[in-house]
Amino acid sequence: MPKRQWLTPDKAVVAGSILLIIIGTLPVLFKYPPAPSHKLFSQVPPLGLMAKVLIGICFIAMLFLIGKLDSTQAPDKFFLYSGLLVLSFLLTDLHFYITDIYRPKWQADQYIRILAGTYGPPHQYRFLPHGILWWLVLFSGDFLFSYLSYRFLFTFAVCLALYKLSRLYNSHKDSLIVVLAYAVFYPLSILYYYGNLLDPMFHCVFILTLMYCQKKKFWQVFSLLALGMFVKETVILAVPCYCLLNIELLHLIRKKVFLQMFCLFGWCLFLFLLCRIPFNFRYSLEGLNGTEQLMILSNLGFSGGMARHLHPVLFIFMWVPILIWKRKFLSCSLFYTSIYLAVSIYLTNLCFGWNYESRNFIPALSMLLVSTAVVFNQKTNQAGENTLTINQKDLY
């Protein structure tokens, strides 16, 4: 009889989501000082160095645990993880020289004010990343080191999550190409913003949610949506994917899937209010998004030049005709999910963001890249690790 694992990847996702919510909420809920250990570490520099080394050791141990739990079938997992770590380091370094080096005061000010509960909407409601950053600052006494460590860790998580999502449909080689394609678009996606802390964590959570939607893992999706709602409320757009990514099975498990999907919607709406009520949330567009009106006319105008319209074309619209043209190479679930995410994420950004904020398009781009890889290799979802299967328990 095989020995039962005390910690499986599915259990780790649920436990990790709960842990991140708890530790990220505490500093904001109790308004902890932004850098309580800075004075101590500045007075004793060797202590600060030791603390950073220990944080590095903890990161290595965490990566080792992730690798041990990861069931991905790759020719050599060590080289896969090493390559993703190098890529994440390069992307973090790129982010530093494109964005961070010019906006340190804005980033520090946002961190301080979100911890104090005085930042404006909607970023005050997306406080979890700053709460997590607080612990790194506490144990290192160095804001810049903590900020870069956080970004590096979650950039690696995005790359790994994207690789694993692609492996559901593509081979190892094609999945690496998908990750490299994301890296090619990365510089443009960070070109026109100040270095908001939430993006890598949000992208990681969104991609993982899509992966577990495809696997029909309700409690993992439930916990990831909870985590995502504390990071950025746009994660609610992933809920319909629980149905779309299992569209081939709907004739067998329609009642179960729709009931679970409505539960997920209700859960997200509850958390949406939970994240806002403590900060005197006002039921208005300004209280929701910090703007007096929708951004549609501003985005569709030409005052900012044609460059603003280039971003949605490159990140979303240029991929859609390819998928429609080669529709026969895609499963119904992959095709409709890709189109849905392209449309819903673009429209959301059109109403509440700026066209050139292409970092907001990354969740849609991720699924579009996965689908395009399938199309260009003329493969169906049998090429990945997980083919579409019907388990007896899914029917009840």
Instruction: State the pLDDT at residue 383.
Output: 43
- Cα dist from 294 to 287, 297, 304, whole Å: 13, 8, 17
- C-alpha 357/C-alpha 223 separation (Å) is 27
pTM for the structure as a whole:
0.92
Averages of pLDDT over runs of 10 residues in the chain (396 residues) are 70 95 95 91 88 93 89 78 96 96 93 93 94 96 95 97 95 95 96 91 97 95 97 96 87 79 95 89 80 83 70 94 92 95 96 90 97 80 44 39
Start-to-end CA span in the chain (Å):
27
Dump pLDDT digits (tens) for 22-49.
999 999 999 999 999 988 888 888 898 9
Write b or e for each residue in 241-274: b if 16 or more Cβ atoms lie within 10 A of its Cβ, otherwise e: bbbbbbbebbeebeebbeebbeebeebbeebbee
At a CB cut-off of 8 Å and minimum separation 6, what does 46 contact? none
Q: CA-CA distance, 227 to 20, in Å (whole number)?
A: 7
Q: What's residue 1's pLDDT?
A: 43
Judged by phi (left if over 0) then psi (alpha if -120 to 50, else beta), residue 258 lies in: alpha
| Lookup: tokens for 6 | 């005390």
Report the distance separating Cα 235 and Cα 291, nearest Å: 20
Q: Which long-range contacts (CB under 8 A, 24 or more apart) does 189-192 make?
A: 189/315, 189/358, 189/359, 189/361, 189/362, 190/94, 190/95, 190/98, 190/99, 190/359, 191/98, 191/356, 192/354, 192/356, 192/357, 192/358
* Angstrom distance (rounded) from CA 162 to CA 367: 9
What count of other Cβ atoms lies within 10 Å of the Cβ of residue 112?
Answer: 16
| Contact (CB, 8 A) for 73 and 173 | no
User: Helix (H, G, I), strand (E, B), or coil: what is residue 44?
Assistant: coil
No. of helices (H) and no. of strands (E), the chain: 18, 0
Q: Cα–Cα distance between 25 and 152 in angstroms, integer?
A: 21
